Amino acid sequence: MFSVKYDTATGIIRCVAGGFLTAADVQRFSVAVHESVQRCLRERGAVRMLVLSPETQVQTAETLEAAQRAKQKLGPDYRIATVVTSPLAKLQAARVLASDRDRAFTSEAEALAWLTASRQAAQPRSAAA
């Protein structure tokens, strides 16, 4: 249902999630992504996450509320780019992600460009920091 990988070269957490998710699925996803988020914060000072949802369906209010609660653990400097293919899913994501730190895209290239536009987080912290 989902996978999580941290790319040390770019500092981007890459997640793949699909299908109809429950609040319990979101909780399991949150636990799975926690280690990558902590590493990203240690190494980069900020979280940049790419969520690929090629088969994502419109989600329930309960699932969306669980996702909003999980985002509160990301710290003050984060960006999440969600890539969806369904126009309806993009509309829902745009409504729910009403923040300058969360965006929905239909193209992975556009999502990555937005994530890396803030180069500060893309640079590793110096060993002296």
The reported pLDDT for the residue numbered 58 is 63
pLDDT tens profile 44-83: 888 898 988 876 666 677 776 777 777 777 777 888 888 8
Can you give the residue ranges of every domain in the chain? 2-122
Which CATH code is given to the segment(s) 2-122? 3.30.750.24
**115 phi and psi, to 5 degrees?**
-60, -40
The answer on pLDDT for 9 being more than 70 is: yes
Q: Which residue has the higher pLDDT, 124 or 87?
A: 87
The answer on pLDDT for 3 being more than 90 is: no
Is the pTM higher than 0.85? The answer reads no
Task: Give the C-alpha separation, 21 to 55, whole Å.
Answer: 11
Q: In the chain, what is the greatest distance between 2 CA atoms, to the nearest angstrom?
A: 47
The reported pLDDT for the residue numbered 55 is 67
Q: Which residue has the higher pLDDT, 129 or 54?
A: 54
pLDDT tens profile 95-116: 666 678 888 888 899 999 999 8
Q: Which of 103, 63, 106, 61 is nearest to 87 (CA)?
A: 106
The answer on pLDDT for 33 being more than 70 is: yes
The gap from C-alpha 80 to its chain's centroid, in whole angstroms, comes to 4
